[in-house]
Every structure is written in structure tokens, then in C-alpha cells.
Amino acid sequence: MKTVISLKDLETMVRTGQYPGKIPADAILTPSARDFLLERELEARGTRPITAASNGIISAPAKPLNSKSSKSEIEAFFNSPFCHDLKMQICEIGRRLWGRAYVDGNGGNIAIRVGEDIALCTPTLVSKGFMKPEDLCLVDFEGNQLLGAKKRTSEILMHLQIMKRQPKAQATVHCHPPYATGFAVAGVLPPTCMIPEFEVFASVAIAPYRTPGTPEMGQLVADLVDKHNVVLMANHGVVSWSHNNVEDAYFKMEILEAYCRTILVASQLGVPPKTMTAPQLQDLLKIKQSLGIPDPRYGLKECELCDNDEWRPGVSCALPPKDEAAGKDPEAEAAVQAITEQILNKLKG
Ligand SMILES: [Zn+2]
């Protein structure tokens, strides 16, 4: 039989020093008990969201779900304290996205992988700033809605295609932060080698424009998530994924947006922005690799690391010229040498 935990039980646990104890995954929490946990968490962290689940207060289901799990198993999961906590996390991240003006109207969407081929996601036609846990939806990896009173987001296919292609992706966030979206509209990748946080936590690529919500759009994004955790969607917005949790996926948005804003300011100061050196970037890439974050630059030559050609021609290689010469095609070099000699001989003759 399932344990029902009330506010009184939790208060007793606090009084007797048993809080925070382990609450069984299948325990039923009364609404006031849930609110209590939420408040305690907020107090303890001094920050949102409530991650009772990630703090180990509420344990994850012992058996991972998949789309073939029985209806009652899926329903039990959807109504469990563990899933409630994940729903609260999504609502909180939605509030942050809206609060920072990274979403507009009912734009933006968020998803968390909760089983082998199942994800929890945001509904369509709801402002991400004002979602309630009961608004959220459960879908299989084909986008079929399994549970939830509201209809799932129309852009869910892209999130699911990321999760299918990148097994490490635990959570995905899509939004339209204005500065980063500006780069996406211009089709310009933000330059590199300027700010450490951006180098360590984000690996950015651009996907071409397709109609939002189409499988084709999802495909083009998914093609990039092997080596990138942030994708600028041309003429649309940004999507990120994290191997940790939904807050981490959201952090990538803050880091990217702050970066795009900063370099726009830097580019208007009348002096060329200074960049870090290739060895300095190499140090950051080592940290990045140790954090398990992908980056297409692992293993590149130092000369190739701070190549910002696309951003501002001329800022490319921070290495002395001898290395540049080493990179040239020897056959072409020999041909140029031979022609030069012929011309010189003609002139002499
Ligand atoms: Zn969008």
C-alpha cells in the first residue's frame, strides 16, 4: 500500500530531526505537503527551482519507463512526487525565460527526458511565464501525447529528435532571446576566444531555416547536436540541451545571450576586440572536456582555435608566421617558386 504523506507528517519529521528523510518514490503527497516541500527547498537554496528530486529528497522511479510501459505505470509516474518536482522545475525555468524576455507570446518550449523514449514537455498556447504543473504533457519520442490535459507544444519534434540523436541530452530548452536570435537572423556565428564562460559551457552551431515544428527542422538541428549543445535556428531562435538537467540547459541560454550582448557592445567601442590566445583557449577546452561538454574544437591545432574569420576578417591566427607557412600546400609552394624563378631569369636575360 502506498504511503500518504501529509503536511503534519512533514512537520513531525522536522520537529524530530528526521527531515529531510527519504520519501518513497510512490508516496502520495497531499497538496499542502507539496507546498511545504517547495517552500523548504526555496528557503534552503535561496534560489529556484525546487529540485527536491535532484537533492535526493524524492527518489526517482526504480524502473525506467518507456512507451511500452503499462498505462497504469505511466499514470503512476505522471502523478508521482518525482514527476511533480520535474514539472515544477519546468514551470520555474519558464518563469525565468519569460522574466528575462527570452520568450514572447506563447513562444518557447522546454522538455525533460523521463524514460527511455518518453519526455515531459510544455503545452502549446500557454505563456511560459505562467505555467502550472498541471499544464504539462507527457509524450513518447514520436511526439504522441500520452498524458496531460493540455495539448503538447507543436515544436516538440525538435526536442525529441535532439534526445534521440544525442543520448546524453537529459533536457532541452528552446526560446527566442533577442541578441542571440539577432545573430541567428543574420546567419552569423558568435565569434570565439573572448569570454571564458561562453567557451567552457556553450558550443554553438547554426541550423538553416525551416518551418517551425516540422520534422525537417528537427532533423537539421539534430544533425548538429553530436558536437554542439546550443543551436542557433536561422530566422527563428535558439535551442540548447544539457547532459545534466533543465536548469543547466537554461543556463546555456543566459550564457549565450549575455555573450552576444557583450560582444555587440565591444564591437561598437571603436577598437578591435581583444581575444584570448590559442593556448589560453586550449586551457578552457580542457576544462570543458572534463565537464563532459561536447565541442568540435577538441583535437584542433592551436592555430585553428581562435579563428574568427567570419566575424571580422583578419582576426584569425594568433600564432607566429612560421606556423602559417607550415600549413601551406608544398606543391603549390614549389610551383610558385618555379614561376618566380622563371620570371626572374627572363628579367635577368
Ligand atoms: Zn520558437
Give me the mean pLDDT over the 120-138 stretch.
96
Ligand 1 center to residue 174 CA distance, Å? 6
Ligand 1 center to residue 155 CA distance, Å? 7
Q: What is the pLDDT of residue 323?
A: 41
Ligand 1 center to residue 308 CA distance, Å? 28
Closest CA to 110 of 92, 99, 82: 92
Rounded alpha-carbon distances, angstroms, from residue 66 to 74, 88, 110, 123, 320: 8, 22, 20, 21, 55
Q: What is the pLDDT of residue 173?
A: 98
Q: What is the pLDDT of residue 248?
A: 97
Ligand 1 center to residue 273 CA distance, Å? 31
Query: pLDDT tens digits, residue range 305-333?
Result: 886 655 554 444 444 444 444 445 666 66
Ligand 1 center to residue 117 CA distance, Å? 23
Q: What is the pLDDT of residue 325?
A: 43
Query: pLDDT tens digits, residue range 217-257?
Result: 999 999 999 999 999 999 999 999 999 999 999 999 999 99
> For the chain, what is the radius of gyration of the CA atoms?
25
Ligand 1 center to residue 97 CA distance, Å? 13
Mean pLDDT of the chain: 86
AA letter at 310: E
- Cα 330 from chain centroid? 43
DSSP H helical segments within 152-245, as ranges? 156-165, 178-186, 196-201, 215-222
Ligand 1 center to residue 125 CA distance, Å? 12
Ligand 1 center to residue 4 CA distance, Å? 40
Query: pLDDT tens digits, residue range 21-53?
Result: 777 777 888 877 877 776 676 556 544 444 555
Q: What is the pLDDT of residue 45?
A: 52
pLDDT reading at 54 higher than 60: no
Ligand 1 center to residue 215 CA distance, Å? 14
Q: What is the pLDDT of residue 100?
A: 97
Region of residue 218 (phi > 0: left; psi between -120 and 50: alpha; otherwise: beta): alpha
Q: What is the pLDDT of residue 317?
A: 45
Q: What is the pLDDT of residue 305?
A: 82
Residue 46 CA to residue 33 CA, distance in Å, equals: 20
Ligand 1 center to residue 102 CA distance, Å? 10
Ligand 1 center to residue 264 CA distance, Å? 23
pLDDT reading at 83 higher than 70: yes
| pTM for the full predicted model | 0.76
Ligand 1 center to residue 238 CA distance, Å? 8
- Cα 139 from chain centroid? 20
Ligand 1 center to residue 154 CA distance, Å? 10
Strand ordering across the sheet containing 145-147: 145-147, 137-140, 118-121, 109-115, 171-175, 237-242, 230-233, 204-207
Ligand 1 center to residue 213 CA distance, Å? 8
Ligand 1 center to residue 94 CA distance, Å? 14
Query: pLDDT tens digits, residue range 265-305?
Result: 999 999 988 999 999 999 999 999 999 999 999 988 887 78
Ligand 1 center to residue 281 CA distance, Å? 32
Which run of H or of E encompasses 4? Answer: strand 4-5
- Cα 331 from chain centroid? 44
Query: pLDDT tens digits, residue range 139-195?
Result: 999 999 999 999 999 999 999 999 999 999 999 999 999 999 999 999 999 999 999
